[in-house]
Amino acid sequence: MRQITVAALQLALNAEDERDNIAAVGALVEEASASGAQIVLPPELFSGPYFCKVEDEALFALARPTLEHPAVIAMRNMARALKVAIPTSFFERDGHHYYNTIAMIGPDGEVMGTYRKSHIPDGPGYEEKYYFRPGNDGFKAWDVFGARIGVGICWDQWYPECARAMALLGAEVLFYPTAIGSEPYDADLDTSRMWRRAMIGHAVSNCMPVVAANRIGMEDGQRFYGHSFIADEWGDFISDVGAEETGVLLATLDLDRAATHRAGMGFFRDRRPELYARLARDE
């Protein structure tokens, strides 16, 4: 029986000094590792407050090349010391281009590769198109601890195409680091239920577990609503928290059981890609 133990981290990340935010994440990584986690997922852009609420050219200074970013450096050291894998979200600068990126850090502390966020939102409180170029290197899957995993980033999690693409690359578990909360244009709109349901749909329609990590707390009038979770291949919660808890969500996933159910459901057997050309058109 193939198993993998995974963790999602939920915490506030509103300290102005990025060292404090990275240290807070590091403390939870240590806690997750001590509890047996092999893959530990922090939230999106965890080295600081969510800066994309406003358009400010000075904030481009937060970006660094992959191997120079403080979050990547810290998580590489932790991964190496604790022998865990950490999909690490950071603001990447590549020459004159800027991306919202994951560095997939393996248990040896090496960067196995990167994934650049493909779907970039643009709306009140989430003005990411000002900062981030859309990802140009496609969806990814990585082999770690005998499992193959896919990682999408926040807005990616609303797109079934992203989840299915990672599944077709062989992913067996889907990970989504996130920064999402209140909608400045509508104080009565709470998207936390839809946010969960969208990813639960990916778990069900691909018959594979999903791990989602979100931040919490108030940041300049915007409340991030947490509700991080780990779901199994049926979309049932194995571990979940609410809107205010700080801590580690932990679950041991049975990959062989999920693979058996995935084969039995026939979702991949019964695909009709010759009928899906319309999905690749942009009009």
Contact yes or no for 179/164 (Cβ under 8 A): no
The yes-or-no answer on residue 117 being catalytic is yes
Helix-, strand-, coil-residue percentages of the chain, each rounded to 5: 35, 30, 35
The strand order across the sheet containing 111-116 reads 86-94, 97-105, 111-116
54 burial class (0-12, 13-18, 19+ CB within 10 angstroms)?
exposed
CA distance 11 to 160: 27
With tokens 């999920």, the residue in question is 258
245 burial class (0-12, 13-18, 19+ CB within 10 angstroms)?
middle
Kindly list the distances between the CA atom of residue 32 and the CA atoms of 45, 230, 243, in Å, as whole numbers in the listed order.
Answer: 19, 14, 20
Q: Which of 18, 44, 128, 219 is catalytic?
A: 44
Q: What phi and psi, each to the nearest 5 degrees, are found at residue 281?
A: -95, 145
Q: Which of 128, 140, 154, 219 is catalytic?
A: 154
* 3-state DSSP assignment of residue 2: coil
Q: What phi and psi, each to the nearest 5 degrees, are found at residue 41?
A: -110, 110
The yes-or-no answer on residue 44 being catalytic is yes
Amino acid at 235: G
The yes-or-no answer on residue 162 being catalytic is no
Contact yes or no for 153/44 (Cβ under 8 A): yes
Amino acid at 90: F
Q: Which of 92, 117, 128, 219 is catalytic?
A: 117
What amino acid positions are annotated as catalytic residues?
44, 117, 154
